[in-house]
Amino acid sequence: MKSLVFKKRVMVVMLFVLILSACSSGGKPEGSAKTATGENDKLNEREITFMTISLSPAFDEYLQQMIDEYEAANEGVTIEWRDVPMDQVEQMVMTRASSGDLPDVMNLNTLYLKKLAGLGALVNMDEAAADAKEDYFTGLWQSGSVGDANYAIPWYVTTGGFLYNEDILNEAGFEEPPSTFEEAWEYSEVIYEKTGAYGEVIEPKINKMMSLHGISILNEDTTAAELNTPEAVELWTKLKDKYDQGLVPKNILLGQMPIPEMYAQEKVAFWSTGPQLFRQVKDLSPDVYEQSDAAPALVSDANLQYAAIMNLAVPKQSEHVDLAVDFALFVTNAQNQLAFSKEANTLPSVREAAQDEYFTKGEDSDDPAERGNFFAAQQLEIAQDITIPHEKAGEINDALTESFQEMLINDGEPEQTLADLEAEINGILQD
């Protein structure tokens, strides 16, 4: 039994990593809570392909059952399912886009999605799925936006959470956890002084922290860097001050020490991460997990929460656009998303599923992971995809990380560092 539980947790962690590296009710199946599928005469004798990313073999049974259900409700319709490993997706999608042979329904992360949308290859979902748009959380629906239109239906999601050690907070004199980044840093000073443990930490990738504070990396049309602003200078100056005060462990800043290990050793009082990862602490130290609790993820004045989203998109070149859109809505309806959330420990993009007892029961749970799942579902209302919407996002993130770390470690000036970084990113964009 322990082996089975461990394997399930490994699957959940792998799915979480997959998303970050890339994101109706019962009865007869419907495209969504509002979409109609009573046009079977139009759907008969059609075949479409459905591409997913790295979901096989872990979720074969769930996906095949869902496909069988749709086919049974739509006579003459065949869904050909293909799963593609994450490391092959970009090459496959771009190659098939140039040859006009894209799958009819494609599971894409936001980066690949925006590449195809920028080429004019995808169906406008604001139009094709207009009747279902309001079923989805607004920020998640907009994750597939390029310009004034959205080109995707959001599918499964992971977002942030907050795990904290109650014993350490109590020892430092706090009865409640912090709710904002500002409070977290105030707590951190006291916690470090009274217990020797760190509180809030700075992880290697600074782009997420900047986005959560409402600071853009690129301009609106993604043609130039736009991060050398007073708001960015203020944030980087504040974080440098915390580092200079000794409140930031260097081994975490440089990615040399996993946060869950430090948390399990009670060297860190907080861990900001998705609640699906909280049980890593239980595996490392059941006692520390027992004295932990969950809270809503920290927010800034911008009141945003990040979301890593997997989307479904339909290419314009599909011979069966209406059917493909209908099937995408079926995959992402409340019933199917709730079922997948239970299988994969992810969050749904549709409001109805997030209001189910599966999530709401966690409010009174003694288990941090279950309680964290409740808070994460509640914060979907303010969640947004914060992926840098550019094909060179990886290079841009690397430049951000390196510049930020060098500034802290080598006592650089935030304003000059940001000016140099902006020039570097503009160079990356022009290459």
Given a contact cutoff of 8 angstroms between Cβ atoms, the answer to whether 284 and 261 are in contact is yes
**The pLDDT value given to residue 387:** 82
Q: Are residues 68 and 139 in the same domain?
A: yes
For the record, the structure tokens of 307 come out as: 């979301």
3-state secondary structure of 81: strand
pLDDT digits (tens, 9 = 90+) for 280-320: 999 999 999 999 999 999 999 999 999 999 999 999 999 99
pLDDT digits (tens, 9 = 90+) for 209-253: 999 999 999 998 889 999 999 999 999 999 999 999 999 999 999
Phi, psi (degrees; rounded to nearest 5) at 10: -60, -40
Given a contact cutoff of 8 angstroms between Cβ atoms, the answer to whether 417 and 399 are in contact is no
**The pLDDT value given to residue 205:** 83
Partners of residue 154 on adjacent β-strands: 311
Judge whether residue 181 has pLDDT over 50: yes
Q: Are residues 276 and 403 in the same domain?
A: yes
**How far is the CA of 275 from the CAs of 297, 369, 373, 399, in angstroms?**
10, 5, 6, 29
Q: Are residues 10 and 138 in the same domain?
A: yes
Q: Which own/partner contact pairs does 246-251 have at CB distance under 8 Å and 24+ positions apart?
A: 246/192, 247/185, 247/188, 247/189, 247/192, 247/198, 247/199, 247/200, 248/198, 248/201, 248/202, 248/408, 249/198, 249/201, 250/409
Confidence of residue 111 (pLDDT cuts 50, 70, 90): confident
**The pLDDT value given to residue 399:** 97
pLDDT digits (tens, 9 = 90+) for 82-103: 999 999 998 999 899 989 899 9
Confidence of residue 18 (pLDDT cuts 50, 70, 90): low
Distance of CA 244 to the CA centre of its chain: 31
Structural domain boundaries enclosing 287: 162-302+388-430
What share of the chain has pLDDT > 90, as a percent?
80
**The pLDDT value given to residue 146:** 86
pLDDT digits (tens, 9 = 90+) for 370-428: 999 999 999 999 999 988 878 788 899 999 999 999 999 999 999 999 999 999 999 99
How many residues appear in the chain? Answer: 431
For the record, the structure tokens of 206 come out as: 């600074």
Judge whether residue 160 has pLDDT over 90: yes
Closest CA to 149 of 133, 132, 131, 125: 125
Task: Read off the pLDDT of each residue in 106-117 and give the average, rounded to a whole number.
Answer: 90
Confidence of residue 174 (pLDDT cuts 50, 70, 90): very high
Task: Read off the pLDDT of each residue in 103-112 and give the average, rounded to a whole number.
Answer: 94
Q: Are residues 381 and 393 in the same domain?
A: no
Given a contact cutoff of 8 angstroms between Cβ atoms, the answer to whether 357 and 365 are in contact is no
Q: Are residues 184 and 109 in the same domain?
A: no
**The pLDDT value given to residue 389:** 78
Pick 366 or 28 by higher pLDDT: 366
DSSP string, 282-309: HHH-HHHHHTEEEEPPPB-TT--EEEEE
Mean pLDDT of the residues in the chain:
90
Q: Are residues 133 and 18 in the same domain?
A: yes
Q: Are residues 22 and 147 in the same domain?
A: yes
Distance CA 411, CA 244 (A): 9
Q: Are residues 82 and 205 in the same domain?
A: no
**The pLDDT value given to residue 32:** 40
Cβ-based neighbour number of residue 406 at 10 Å: 14
Query: How many CA atoms within 13 Å lie on the side-chain side of 233?
Result: 8
- The position carrying tokens 């500034």 is 407
Q: Are residues 316 and 208 in the same domain?
A: no
Q: Are residues 57 and 22 in the same domain?
A: yes
For the record, the structure tokens of 400 come out as: 């951000």
Q: What is the DSSP letter of 173?
A: T
Q: How many domains does the structure of the chain reveal?
A: 2
Judge whether residue 40 has pLDDT over 80: no
Q: Is the peptide bond before 389 cis (omega within 30 degrees of 0)?
A: no
Confidence of residue 268 (pLDDT cuts 50, 70, 90): very high
Closest CA to 133 of 113, 147, 154: 154
Cα diameter, the chain: 71
DSSP string, 105-159: EEEEEHHHHHHHHHTT-B--HHHHTGGGGGGB-HHHHGGGEETTEE--EEEEEEE
**The pLDDT value given to residue 28:** 37
Q: Are residues 218 and 297 in the same domain?
A: yes
Which CATH number does the domain housing residue 82 bear? 3.40.190.10
**The pLDDT value given to residue 14:** 53
What share of the chain has pLDDT > 70, as a percent?
90
Q: Are residues 37 and 108 in the same domain?
A: yes
Q: Is 127 left (phi over 0), alpha (psi -120 to 50) or beta?
A: alpha
